[in-house]
Amino acid sequence: MTTRQSPSHPAPLDAGTRAARAAGNAGEPTVEFAEATPYEQYVGVRQLQALVRPVTEHPAEPAFLVVTQVMELWFTLLRREWELGQRQLRADDLDAAIGSIRRSVHHLRSLDATWGSLLWLTPAEFNGFRDQLGEASGFQSYEYRHVEFLLGLKAESVVRPHRGLPVVHADLQRALAAPSLEDDVLAYLARRGLPVPATVLERDRTVTHEPDPAVTALWAEVYTDPRPGNELFTLGEALTDVAEVFTTWRQRHVTAVRRAMGAKPGSGGSAGLAWLKRSAARVVFPDLWAARTVV
């Protein structure tokens, strides 16, 4: 039975039909389509292109805009991977959760590499379109806030800018009060009988995670057996990779800002560089780092 596909989804193709088509094409790609190619139906290239709307004619602006949009897509993908990892941890499927977290490390590295496309941006070039961006600032990226919240970097103040967009605001408020990835890891460890204090399991989830001596000691104990067969060690290292590469992204942002605009105030209303440096210094998964001093 064939199901009618919506215009935005390509029709499915089973292996037998695919083989028959390749044979019929004498091994060459199919070139006849009655409507938009299945690739276009799947990827939506025209929709993507329609979103690249520079506000000036300055030749440097399209790269700035596209890099920002690409980074937004990486944030969305990270969010999906970590929310999936949380569901897998809640189902006590540690192998699957480690798989999701490891996959996210590859995405993070690609996100980080995206800075390479902006490093040529000089202050004069940035000045060429900066004023036209008005008060627009990455500070207002709500997808980035979801990423931070999942990593345990929480603050009510960063939810506030989104009050004017109720759906986004409600989603962010929910995420602020929801468990972070680390909260789900610790709940999983507690279910496995590890000594996670009740105060940590029940901590206020709307504020940034602080290191806890008992959790630091717990990770230090896990790290006394650093063999691949120790799945909790593997989990700890995957989370440490996440923290490290995310931190690298934030540090590269600080460097990109210093390079493109020095210490001028930010378009989002902050002091700029000095404010960003403080923000980037917040530690992700502090107990995993503190454990290294104890081991």
Chain positions contacting ligand HEM, by CB under 6 A: 67-68, 71-72, 118, 121, 137-139, 141, 144, 253, 256-257, 260-261, 266-270, 272, 275-276, 279
Closer to ligand HEM at the Cβ: 169 or 282? 282
Closer to ligand HEM by Cβ: residue 130 or 182: 130
Closest CB 66 distance from ligand HEM, rounded Å: 10
Rounded distance, CA 151 to CA 275, Å?
20
DSSP labels for 27-51?
TSPP---SSS-HHHHHH-HHHHHHT
Give the shortest CB-267-to-ligand HEM separation in angstroms.
5
The end-to-end CA distance of the chain, in Å, is 61
Cβ closest to ligand HEM, residue 112 vs residue 287:
112
**Rounded least distance, CB 95 to ligand HEM, Å:** 32
Question: Could you tell me the smallest distance in angstroms from the CB atom of residue 48 to ligand HEM?
Answer: 16
Which two structure tokens, joined as six digits, stand for 47? 């929709």
CA–CA dist 121, 127 (Å, integer): 10
Residue type, 278: R
Whichever of 107 and 223 has its CB closer to ligand HEM, that residue is 107
How many Å apart are CA 270 and CA 222, to the nearest integer? 41
CA distances from 125 to 57, 63, 130, 252 (A): 12, 12, 9, 19
In the complex, what is the shortest distance from the CB of residue 61 to ligand HEM, in angstroms, rounded to a whole number?
A: 11
- Of 139 and 219, nearer to ligand HEM (C-beta) is 139
For residue 101 the two structure tokens come to 């977290």
